[in-house]
Structure 1
Amino acid sequence: MTALAADRNTPEKLDPSIRQLDVAAAKTCYAGGLAALDANGNATPGATATTLLGIGRFEETVDNSGGAAGDLTVKVKRGVFRFANSASTDEITAAEIGADCYIVDDQTVAKTDGSSTRSKAGTVYDVDSLGVWVEFA
């Protein structure tokens, strides 16, 4: 492609923090749940798996439990959100601020990858008595 020689209409996302994504087959996404992408690029609830990538929070509930991948779409927002903290040796503390955290399920994150069984959720932004603030870029 060559350099511009005239003005260009470059489209802009009005709110780049919100994405509209295809929902994975046979999945239900709940508003407020940890959203992930599967290996095919479809939105799916967070779960213990090695093929997911945490991308944010579901902004709405979408039931695609009876559908194929892409039959429905869901809004996902990136930002910093509080999720439940894991327990015992996987509990996240202030010492993990700035480190990666890992998906346990669609509402819980952990300090470790569970011996290579969990996917990255995001980055620990903060920790308080109610949970872990996770940053999704």
Structure 2
Amino acid sequence: MAALDNVRDTVEVANNAKYLVIPVKGGVTIYQGALVAVDANGYAIPGKKAAGITAAGRAEETADNAGGADGAISIKVSRGVFVWDNTATSANKVGAAHILKPCYIEDDQTVTALATGASIAGLVIDVDEGGVVVEINPALTAPAAGA
């Protein structure tokens, strides 16, 4: 396509694409409020410790696809800044030193500072006794091997 030579009515996506509708992986249930990730094939899965998945956001509903095929149902996911549990492993806890740095998915409600074998949950915005405030940011990529 050639560059513009006149005005263009460029479509704006409603609410800055805050909400996504993603097909759900077969054989899984994602609970409302869970950290949702997308696998390598583009299906929504509950967040888990695994390399090669991408954090998508928070589940806005429960999606039970335990008996269904890949993509048989979809789930509404909200992108934004959410409070997740901090890992119980003291050596891998997210702390003040991690603010404005990535944290990693441990499970569908927990984040960790440990990058090994995990995918990025998002950017740490704050940490306190209530949990870890994380900006879900798919633009972040997994760390290089050995990181």
Q: What 5-or-longer segments of structure 1 have no aligned partner?
A: none
Report what 1:47 is aligned to.
Answer: 48
Report what 2:140 is aligned to.
Answer: none
Code of the aligned partner of 2:92 = D
1:7 Cα deviation from its structure 2 partner = 5.8
Q: How does 1:1-137 map to 2 (within 5 A)?
A: 1-4=1-4, 8=8, 10-15=10-15, 16-87=17-88, 88-113=90-115, 116-137=116-137
Tell me, in whole angstroms, the C-alpha distance in 2 between the residues paired with 1:89 and 1:26.
33
Tell me, in whole angstroms, the C-alpha distance in 1 between the residues paired with 2:99 and 2:3.
43
**Kept after mapping to 2: 8 A contact 1:37/1:43:** yes
Code of the aligned partner of 2:114 = T
1:28 Cα deviation from its structure 2 partner = 0.8
Tell me, in whole angstroms, the C-alpha distance in 1 between the residues paired with 2:36 and 2:53.
10
Root-mean-square deviation over aligned CA pairs: 1.5
Report what 2:144 is aligned to.
Answer: none
> CA-to-partner distance for each residue in 1:53-91, whole Å, 9 max, x for gaps?
112111111101111111111111111100000121011
1:40 Cα deviation from its structure 2 partner = 0.7
Q: What 5-or-longer segments of structure 2 have no aligned partner?
A: 138-147
- Describe the SS at the equivalent of 1:48: coil
> CA-to-partner distance for each residue in 1:26-52, whole Å, 9 max, x for gaps?
111111110111011111110111121
Give structure 1 regions of 4+ aligned residues with deviation exceeding 4 angstroms: 4-9
**Kept after mapping to 2: 8 A contact 1:123/1:135:** yes
Between the aligned residues of both structures, percent identity stands at 46
- Describe the SS at the equivalent of 2:12: coil
Aligned residues: 135
> CA-to-partner distance for each residue in 1:79-137, whole Å, 9 max, x for gaps?
11000001210111111101111111000000112xx2111111111111111011013
Code of the aligned partner of 2:97 = A
Tell me, in whole angstroms, the C-alpha distance in 1 between the residues paired with 2:4 and 2:71.
36
